[in-house]
Amino acid sequence: MKSAVSSSLFFHSKNLLKPNPFSRLESVFLPKPSLRSIAKLPSSSTTSGLRSISSSSMASSFKPEQARVPSALPLPAPPLTKFNIGLCQLSVTADKSRNISHAKKAIEEAASKGAKLVLLPEIWNSPYSNDSFPVYAEEIDAGGDASPSTAMLSEVSKRLKITIIGGSIPERVGDRLYNTCCVFGSDGVLKAKHRKIHLFDIDIPGKITFMESKTLTAGETPTIVDTDVGRIGIGICYDIRFQELAMIYAARGAHLLCYPGAFNMTTGPLHWELLQRARATDNQLYVATCSPARDSGAGYTAWGHSTLIGPFGEVLATTEHEEAIIIAEIDYSILEQRRTSLPLNKQRRGDLYQLVDVQRLNSK
């Protein structure tokens, strides 16, 4: 069984009170060419050659490899280049057994349409409320009857031979509750658990107030996992607002980021698509999200609009707020094309800033 790789992080900016950086410009300037050497080259060759040398010297001075600590890992070769992903935007009710059965049918339908990876919404087995989390919580590690939701995911992933990013459900561990995403491989084995790191505590006067921290405990580690469909970084809803998490995943070689989420009717129209496109564009990888369908009569109303974003920030597939199953193609060969066109990894300013992967650094 492949295990998830977890990591703690912080963002580190180098001391800006260091000596004036312009005092080191002599290391960037080229030696002055002689007139004789210039005369031997056509004018265009001279310009092209000097530009190439200058660019190389500047890149070396900028220390792009030091912008990630430890250094970013190369993008691994994925197990397959192209495959279909299924995003199951589900209605959620107060009937847990119905929610589990409904999710199962949606996964089966997505697989029948060719999906090799299926993503479920945030809190798909329970109403989204602090009152509901303790009632619907499951002991995931115990499995079986103690966690009927994950038992279903395990059975279906093995039977259909697909990878499932199981949205999230309330998890009970002793006297603590977590908002937890489970990843099941095509063998039905639990490959990773991601506990929501950034709890949804907001207060927008006259619009929405919600405090997950009243009942939930924050997770302590980011989660990246190798699967049959590539290396995937996991976040849950509010996690998408923190670019450092996505940057860590990109530096660990993720091909795809998956965010089950339930944005609301206030922040959804403003930020949901914007954040997805930003995470994909900044890190030059795919981003997939999955929301519950909208229920205007529920205590918490989800925005919907489950979406797949490409590595140039393009919207590849999306839906509105009703129940839907989106099937869309992911093509990992595009990742290298985009990174060659915009070589951000070679242009970062490691001489000015660093992103530190604390757990990976400390494990060395």
In this predicted model, what pLDDT tens digit does every residue of 190-216 receive, in sequence order?
Answer: 999 999 999 999 999 999 999 999 999
Segment (H or E) for 178:
strand 176-184
**Per-residue pLDDT, 56:** 59
**pLDDT tier, 51 (very low <50, low <70, confident <90, very high otherwise):** low
Active-site residue set: 122, 196, 237
Provide the mean pLDDT of the chain. 89
Q: Express the helix, strand and coil content of the chain in percent, nearest 5 each.
A: 35, 25, 40
Average pLDDT over residues 334-363: 95
* pLDDT of residue 286 exceeding 50: yes
User: Can you tell me whether residue 184 is helix, strand or coil?
Assistant: strand
- At 85-109, the pLDDT tens digits run 999 999 999 999 999 999 999 999 9
pLDDT score of 60: 72
pLDDT > 80? residue 6: no
Cα separation of 40 and 292, whole Å? Answer: 68
pLDDT at residue 321 is higher than 70: yes
Amino acid identity, position 322:
E
pLDDT value at residue 5: 40
Q: Which residue has the higher pLDDT, 186 or 51?
A: 186
DSSP code string of 56-91: HHHHHHH-GGGSEESPPPPPPPPS-SEEEEEEEE--
**Percent residues over pLDDT 90 in the chain:** 82
Output 266 or 26, whichever has higher pLDDT: 266
**Confidence class of residue 9 from pLDDT cuts 50, 70 and 90?**
very low
Helix (H) or strand (E) holding 202: strand 201-204
pLDDT digits (tens, 9 = 90+) for 10-44: 444 444 334 443 333 333 333 444 434 434 444 55
Please check the confidence at residue 174 and state whether its pLDDT lies above 90. Answer: yes
Tell me: pLDDT of 236 over 60: yes
Tens digit of each residue's pLDDT (9 = 90 or more) over 140-161: 999 999 999 999 999 999 999 9
Q: Which stretches of 63-198 are DSSP H helices?
A: 96-112, 132-136, 148-160
Q: What is the reported pTM?
A: 0.85
Query: Mind listing the pLDDT tens digit for each residue in 105-127?
Result: 999 999 999 999 999 999 999 99
